[in-house]
Amino acid sequence: MDMISICICDDNIEFLEYFKKMLILAMKELDVEFVVECYTDAKQLLFELDELNKKIDIYFLDILIKEENGIQLAREIRKRSQIEQIIFFSMNKEYVFDCFDVMPLHYLLKEQLTLEDLKEVLNKAISIVNENKKKLFRFKKGHSFFQIPLNEILYFEVMNRVVTIHMKGRNEEFYSTMEQIEEKIDDECFVRVHRSFLVNMNWVDRIERNKVSMFNEEVIPIGAKYSKNVKNYMKLLLEKM
């Protein structure tokens, strides 16, 4: 299980410290490795997300942060990514129906919060985070780290250790090997069809004896050594029908 990154944003320093201690206790009881960072200012949080390229798994956001709207902060977070888990907390239920559009996981009431409640919410959030991480491809390019949803990737192409990720409308390049890519991806829909190509079969329009045709009309050869992989995938597909 990967390290879980947690962010707490609340301008009430007293509650922030109290909640941080409760969260640390909850995570220890759940036996999950984690890091936690605290913010009292929404603008500072957004600045660090952009400038420092921070990756957060779970956000705990106060609804009101220094007269700012915590829901608006969540909207800014959602502009950057759709996969993080957002949990709001507040003193009352006044804003509970206003936050649906940012897809929060939960809404906690500060005065009613217990350790068991927090553990239950964290357990659910961690399960979703870990499942989502299996569906992301992460890579390093220069000094920056990137992550791409697997379902956006059409196929990987490798030539002289240069990997090209082919997507709709754009490509990304970095240095690696096909073997390293295969190790990172735990998804039966990605099939090695050639020594240079790893294909997302969800984007395949037609499979023929020696080639696959993609929905974007690109054609990828099937290497003789890898034809068995394609046959195994087709067999698996038929078994699910």
Phi then psi for residue 111, to 5 deg, are -70, -20
Instruction: Assess contact for 184 and 137: CB atoms under 8 A.
Output: yes
Instruction: Assess contact for 156 and 181: CB atoms under 8 A.
Output: yes
Sites in the chain below the pLDDT cut of 70: 1, 66-68, 81-82, 101, 238, 240-241
Rounded Cα–Cα distance for residues 135 and 177 (Å): 20
Residue length of the chain: 241
For Cα atoms 163, 167, 170, give the angle at the middle one, nearest 5 degrees: 90
**pLDDT for res 166:** 95
Query: Domains in the chain, start-ordered, CATH in brackets?
Result: 4-133 (3.40.50.2300), 139-240 (2.40.50.1020)
How confident is the model over 88-146, as pLDDT tens digits?
998 877 777 777 767 788 989 998 999 999 999 999 999 988 887 778 898 988 888 88
**pLDDT for res 241:** 45
**pLDDT for res 235:** 84
DSSP 235: H
**pLDDT for res 15:** 94
